[in-house]
Structure 1
């Protein structure tokens, strides 16, 4: 090996075993090029200054004793962290390059120019520490990166600044916390041809859900311009989620999440001044447009899966799309270091019991709850005023903030997304955080008592005062097996992934109306009849929400399909029963534009709801959109585990009409394995169980409505609350008989309701009756699973239920 090669090595000559030589970042780039380029993954070319070159730089400039002395002063308390760090960095920056290293860099840069066909190719100069990006520690973002660097001299200057960044305050404090010897960590520098993402887009990609650890999704964040804006959290990016198990089928597009970020500015090449990059405002059209189309999202996700498979662990990657050529590139890849280390079989569950008013909301990071006093800090220079254990509130964070972030109980930022610096560091520190609030520094004030809740899904809430909450340690590995399926009731796509560790047998009830009211917010008929809508305020709100969609109805179909897809992904390939919309007329009227399409009823509970709407001229076109969303969910996204359920179906004749309308809209029972269930919530469903069983594949008992209509008791009436009893003999007769009749016809029967959770004896009764499944809220799952196991042990399957 020649003398020059020990100082400079090309990426294609590196492997991931070369971390001691070129650091984690450069070793990983070499691994990608050598092992995955044959699979079509593109990585921009470049070279690395080795750790040996760094050590030689220290020795030639006699820096080792200087650095050691300053670190000893820091340990002895003679200097502050800021003083020691600044002195070390200044000493490194004042050093001179060894002639052999300068010559090696010049030759390598000239060769990169030749390969690129440019006289002075623009490069990224990135730090790559020899201890970084290990499976149990991440030094990502702690050392400097310089973009759009041109010319041999500029490359050497940027490389020297990379060396100095090994001793930033946050890097020193991180190594102290992790127990790394400062003098044993060396720095390599990567010089990589720039991707012209300043004219395209860039971002980050994880092969695991960064909040819950759900390992079956790829998470992509994207923004216009250079990717540093996403990494640093200075922009609200687009967010895409892709379901990995269905990616192998090229005919499917399993994108279960697409959220358009504000993307109010972008980082591009500087056109004037001394800096090499600059932030500029994005155009209005860029803000409402997605950075990546479906084909690009899927291609990038498949790359992510290949990289994950090669490394054998969840990965954290940076990608870039060249705006001049349209080509996609992976520019960094490292192991994900937070969720992948969590114990899969156990978890902590946080539940808010009582909270004050909501002060701000944003993107939740983690799933914990923290209470405390607000401390607003505008700059890391103000960290001396931070109170240990307070809730840090600021505009955004970057690596300079790490020392103060370590002292916080929770973190709140105005800017950033789930892959911003604040989010990544909060996860590693195990702190709840809410990012991208937009206005937290304005609506909160110092010493204010607040609660930061990340326990309610993807949206995080900041509540006034100190909320009451529970924390439960759960070990799912100790649960018994049962013959009776115990499934989940879910409605909120945003919170679905937090339950991925629950060993359920599927989802027995996914309520479509929750997705409509929370993700879509618009009455479907207001989208169908948008052009004739008289309500100007509603039209303006609809126009804003549907911006970027090719049509108003496509907004409904797309968001509904993906929202339900997020729920279906949780339990794939187990069955997921999606109940078609079951709003009452007064609830529909509260959707945007809904008042114009809903009659006023004295008793909406027994009025125009459920099946009766689906074939009615008042709503038939709206139901067609629901059917189109289900068809897309099954056929294009690939979730054939989805079963459709029809609510409040009053008669066999009505069932026939609904099934016919479904067939007109591409949902034919039995075709492509489609099963259709019916809610059993009306006495006629029990009385004519045989007739319903000829039309449907299964029954799901809605015990609340069935109790209400069997006993003639308004379930919401305080005056009659003592009479509303799901364990009344009449109700139990109904349940027992529908199970018996359904089984005679070969139909499955489940129950979705709270009764098995609240009453152990009711769960035992259902087991005795031979019910096929129970579907309960996630927080009740463990208790019900145990009750069912005890009941099955006491009553062998097939035993005759006792007489009532």
Structure 2
């Protein structure tokens, strides 16, 4: 279906080998239409102009030499980038269409309308450069897209503007930087039937985690209206993370995380002509509702996996939902070019070494830390005044900002999500960025010294002043193999994703209380007894936290399940040991609504904590919510690698009571593969280890509490801190005894305390004693592995 002039190609006739002919974007659309229809993937119909059409346009208007001269003047320093780009774009926009080329576009447009039964079909007009969307180069939307174009005159005008956009300032700069010859790169135009996402929603998705490179998830961003608002970073979108390995398992719904965005604006159809689209405010209902249903999230994820399989590489895709038909579409697909090119054998680790006042938070992009003076620039027209090495603060970025982004120490934006322009380019440039802060441009002032930290999980933080931090390069290449199982101690879901590359075999301690404190924030009993809360301010804070959950208890279960699932997915199918909540009463009281349900204790460290809470009427209903979250992770999301661990279990009777309560809540040890471990942190656990082994599947030594209770030293006491040492002979004797008893009964035993992370010689002692696994803080893993390899080499296998 090629026209006689060779200027037009319909998408269904194109494939990946046609990049020189129609550019990466249009070749990819054709490839998907031709090869992925059997997978049920819908791509809107359309056609492309060829690279030859672009060259014919330049020749007919005698533009080649004039453009070459302008570029030579720029290279020679006779004209600025802005002057050069503006001059070339003006020449192209004033160009006249050769009759045969204009006729070819018009005939194809009429044919597209006939396919849809319309005289003037509404189309998207997209630029597709012949050097873009390659696995080794990302042109990050440098050329223009025009939406809701109707009529032949509007279409030809939009096509001319597409040609001109090949010479935007950022496109010229990018090609210079990457060594592309400006006149060897041609531009194809894709004319594609519009998806009426202005009546529904649209967004972006990646077939890996964009921050960490974790390959087993699909990340989807969504906002109301046309997708340009997400791509541009003009809104803070909804975000969904789905676990790919369980996607095809019958009955499972492996959605790890759902985050509601603010979505304050949306792009919708305008009146036509120069007002083809407009920006409008979203309604309160739209801001408080997810754009996609769970079924739609899973549907898009299956498409993402099919596209990734077909291209055999991680992919960056744009999707849209038609509000008239309810159908989903893929409107673009290109190779992901940041994480997929990262050197797998090296990890960069950043950590703050001091603290300061927290000014702002947003989404962390990357894992780095940067410090420097703030420079607030609200308009791209002012980027010439940017001082290299400053922290760029702006509302949002688009490709016009790329030249100045390259010079920034860090980037802060008011708007945008993980797939916004600012996020994508920051990752590619390796620059720390915090996006979607809400009001960075109003809160921060020019010259103000700040530290921008993306090293503390998924929340990016901006602190006042220049804080000290360290950056270390961790090499994973040529690490020796060791016999001892090394696992991780993990607090937050974001940390689990960050460290997935480490050579570990599971997580030995996932701390549930960190999810409760950092994400849920409310005391579970305050949610159970919300109507009985006495403090009006507390009730209002909980209403705000749970505004999208009519059932306050469902808020706790859902948020806790998402946090646990994310941690468990990072190591699947290796075991992930999740400790049930182990707050002390004073810590529980600090949760929202907690003071009404907690009481003062003289010594909370050995008070009402751990197992004793789970069967008590004071907390039994809260523990039921914890159990419900575990069930959801294992039975609905499907992460059966989760093992439950009971902390601070003082007696055998208490063990029996806790296991009975768990069974009442649907968590029966041994059913559906459920294993239950117990912490060894009380001397009684060691003395009666063989009896505890009859009730539990495994032990995990908590060396901090065991040291405290063995030596009678408050671990938080500054006066007695010199006495607190896990290497004390009495403590080591108890640990050796626990390991011996576990080995004798065939019970798994590991350690999740701090000591092996702090003291490599302590890790060596554990191996000599016969421990099964050692769970370490992430920054200790490589050093301990090297120490244990040396030890194991000196002993027979």
TM over 0.5: yes
Deviations 1:48-100 (A, max 9, x none): 01111111000011110111111111111111111111111111111111111
Counterpart position of 1:200: 200
Question: Offset of 1:794 from its aligned partner?
Answer: 3.0
Cα deviation for residue 271 of structure 1 reads: 4.2
Q: Cα–Cα, structure 1 residues 159 and 696, in superposed 2: closer, same or farther, change >3 Å?
A: same
Q: Distance in 2 between matches of 1:320 and 1:2?
A: 28
CA distance in 2, matches of 1:499, 1:183: 44
2:393 aligns with: 393
The aligned residue for residue 578 of structure 1 is: 578
Distance, in Å, in 1 between the alignment partners of 2:661 and 2:792 is: 41
Kept in 2, the 8 Å contact 1:42–1:330? The answer is yes
Give the match for residue 439 of structure 1. 439
Is 1:342 aligned to 2:342, yes or no?
A: yes
Helix, strand or coil for the counterpart of 1:477?
A: coil
Are 2:602 and 1:593 aligned? no
Instruction: State the alpha-carbon separation in 1 of the partners of residues 783 and 274 from structure 2.
Output: 64
Counterpart contact for 1:4–1:100, Cα < 8 Å: no
Distance across 1 between alignment mates of 2:553 and 2:242: 23
Which whole-Å CA distance do the structure 2 matches of 1:613 and 1:3 have between them? 76
Unaligned runs of 5+ in 2: none
1:103 has 2:120 as partner: no
Provide the residue aligned with 2:65 in structure 1: 65
Structure 2 distance, partners of 1:20, 1:727, is: 67
Q: Could you tell me whether the CA contact under 8 Å between 1:768 and 1:795 is conserved in 2?
A: no
> Aligned-pair distance for 1:2?
6.3
Q: Distance in 1 between matches of 2:275 and 2:426?
A: 30
Give a deviation string over 1:207-243, Cα, whole Å, max 9, x none: 1111111111111000000000000000000011111
Map 1:702-713 → 2, pairs under 5 A = 702-713=702-713
Q: Secondary structure at the match of 2:275?
A: coil
Q: Contact (CA 8 Å) 2:358, 2:463: kept in 1 or not?
A: yes
Question: Is 1:492 matched with 2:492?
Answer: yes
Separation of aligned partners in 1, 2:395 and 2:192: 31
Residue 355 of structure 1 contacts residue 465 of structure 1 at CA under 8 Å; is this kept in 2? no
**199-208 or 543-552: which moved more?**
543-552
Distance in 1 (alpha carbons) for counterparts of 2:28 and 2:56: 23
- Partner of residue 154, structure 2: 154
Q: For 2:321 and 2:261, how far apart are their aligned partners in 1?
A: 18
Whole-angstrom CA distance in 2 between matches of 1:139 and 1:764: 51
Deviation at 1:763, TM superposition (A): 1.4
Q: Does 1:368 align with 2:380?
A: no
User: What residue in structure 2 maps to residue 291 of structure 1?
Assistant: 291
Distance in 2 (CA, whole Å) between partners of 1:337 and 1:2 is: 32
Q: State the match for 1:94 in structure 2.
A: 94
Matches within 5 A, 1:27-106: 27-106=27-106
- Is the partner of 1:677 in helix, strand or coil? strand
Instruction: Give the CA deviation at 1:790.
Output: 2.2
CA contact 1:355–1:464 (8 Å) conserved in 2 = no
Superposition pairs of residues 35-434 of structure 1, within 5 angstroms: 35-271=35-271, 274-434=274-434
Q: Which residue of 2 aligns with 1:535?
A: 535
Deviation at 1:429, TM superposition (A): 1.3
Aligned match of 1:752: 752
Q: CA deviation at 1:788?
A: 2.0
Shift of 1:5: 5.6
Q: TM-score, normalised by structure 2?
A: 0.99
Shift of 1:272: 7.5
Structure 1: give runs of 5+ residues left out of the alignment: 798-804
Looking at structure 2, the residues matched to 292 and 549 of structure 1 have their Cα atoms a distance apart, in angstroms, of 16
What do the CA deviations read for 1:372-400 (whole angstroms, capped 9, x no partner)?
22111111211221111211111111111
| Aligned partners of 1:750 and 1:773 also within 8 Å | yes
Looking at structure 2, the residues matched to 796 and 630 of structure 1 have their Cα atoms a distance apart, in angstroms, of 41
SS of structure 2 residue aligned to 1:9: strand
* CA distance, structure 2, for counterparts of residue 777 and residue 716 of structure 1: 20
After superposing the two structures, state which structure 1 stretch, 74-83 or 622-631, moved more. 74-83
The alpha-carbon distance between structure 1 residues 561 and 574, as it changes in their structure 2 partners (threshold 3 A), is: same
Write the distance in 2 (CA, Å) between the matches of 1:525 and 1:272. Answer: 55
For residue 636 of structure 1, give the secondary structure of its aligned residue in structure 2: helix
CA distance in 2, matches of 1:94, 1:723: 82
Q: What's the TM-score once normalised by structure 1's chain length?
A: 0.98
For the residues of structure 2 that align with 1:512 and 1:388, how far apart are their CA atoms?
A: 43
- Report deviation, 1:521: 0.5
SS in 1 for 2:33: helix
Aligned residues: 797
SS at match of 2:526: helix
CA apart distance, 1:355: 3.4
Aligned to 2:127, the other structure's residue is in SS state strand
Q: CA separation in 2, counterparts of 1:115 and 1:273?
A: 23
More moved, 308-317 vs 594-603: 594-603
Offset at residue 555 of structure 1 (A): 0.8
Structure 2 SS opposite 1:722? coil
Q: Distance in 1 between matches of 2:424 and 2:417?
A: 10
SS of match in other structure, 1:367: coil
Give the Å deviation of 1:250: 3.5
* 3-state SS of paired residue (2:67): helix
CA distance in 2, matches of 1:609, 1:5: 80
1:29 & 1:247 partners in 2: Cα distance?
25
CA distance in 2, matches of 1:645, 1:161: 62
CA RMSD of aligned residues (A): 1.2
Tell me, yes or no, if the aligned pair for 1:395 and 1:414 is still in contact at 8 Å: yes
Q: Is the 8 A contact 1:8 1:50 kept in 2?
A: yes
Q: 1:5 to 1:500 in 2, by over 3 A?
A: farther
Q: Distance in 1 between matches of 2:421 and 2:429?
A: 12
* 2:639 matched residue in structure 1: 639
The structural deviation recorded for 1:793 is 2.6
Q: Would the alpha carbon gap of residues 223 and 248 (structure 1) be closer, same or farther in structure 2, given more than 3 Å must change?
A: same
The 3-state SS of whatever aligns with 2:192 is: strand
Match of 1:510 in 2: 510
Return the offset for 1:438: 1.2
Q: Distance in 1 between matches of 2:260 and 2:149?
A: 31
* Distance (whole Å) between structure 2 residues aligned to residue 766 and residue 364 of structure 1: 37
**321-330 or 375-384, which deviates more:** 375-384
